[in-house]
Amino acid sequence: MTAYEKEFYVNRHEKTIHAANTILSMLLDRIPTVHSAVDVGCGTGTWLSVLQQKGVNEIQGFDGSWMDRNLLAIPYSCFTEIDLTRSMIRSITKYDLAISLEVAEHLPSDCAEEFIFSLTELSDYVLFSAAIPFQGGQHHVNEQWQHYWVELFRKMDYLVYDIIRPKIWNDNRIPFWYRQNILLFVRKQKTTSTLNGWPYVELSSSPIDIVHPDLYLIRQSGKPE
């Protein structure tokens, strides 16, 4: 994985605040009590900072050594440097919620299954998104359709809940990559057919691989996203 410029992180933080508030409010209403959370590939820690504001006191973020700690939205003590291309997180701590958004596409394909396994070791509830083919971005080496990740999580005995995307699909204040890619994965033993009223997805009956119109228009116009 490689470093982004400082301007990228500042702009991403500003774009992400509304998305994090909206999506995490939905999750906290549905997931059993969340007291702790971890974000793998946390960037400035925007999602964790929003969780802190919502009363989640135990947080931990992981990202590369290139991350400028002066840009962090979380305490320095809650941030750990890691190079995910060289080693996966091995933690004895189990969190109530794990987050990894638009990170997996930066890792080589031969790391993909181990990366997903490491997320499932961190929590029974994983909020996840990753870039689809031709989404574009810096150092994207493993862009995959959403079903690819669903199958890897399924190997770990996790069910997919695709309830967030329909609720945020038309909110243009949320970056298209979240509206297009974000899914919730839950350890099968932690749920039956519903999660407090949310149905899990049967891939045979529900489309999981989708492209947001905003990305389509960006690609047709030739403009950078």
In a domain, 24, yes or no: yes
In a domain, 100, yes or no: yes
Q: What is the pLDDT along the chain (225 residues), one digit of tens a residue?
A: 455 555 555 566 677 899 999 999 999 998 888 999 999 999 999 999 999 999 999 999 999 887 888 889 999 999 999 988 887 777 778 999 999 999 999 999 999 999 999 999 999 999 999 999 989 778 899 999 999 999 999 999 999 999 999 999 999 999 999 999 999 999 998 876 567 777 777 765 678 999 998 777 876 776 655
In a domain, 28, yes or no: yes
Domain that holds residue 150: 6-221
In a domain, 72, yes or no: yes
The pTM assigned to this predicted structure is 0.90
In a domain, 188, yes or no: yes
Token reading at 45:
């820690």
Q: Could you tell me which residues are beta bridge partners of residue 60? A: 38
In a domain, 116, yes or no: yes
Q: Which domain CATH number covers 148?
A: 3.40.50.150
pLDDT at 127: 99
In a domain, 1, yes or no: no
Q: Which residue has the tokens 């994965």?
A: 185
Q: Could you tell me which residues are beta bridge partners of residue 95? A: 123
DSSP string, 161-204: E--HHHHHTT-TTS-HHHHHH-EEEEEGGG-SSEETTEEPP-TT
DSSP string, 64-124: -TTS-GGG-SS-GGGEEE--TTT-----S--BSEEEEES-GGGS-GGGHHHHHHHHHHHBS
The residue count for the chain: 225
In a domain, 204, yes or no: yes
Per the structure, the count of domains in the chain is: 1
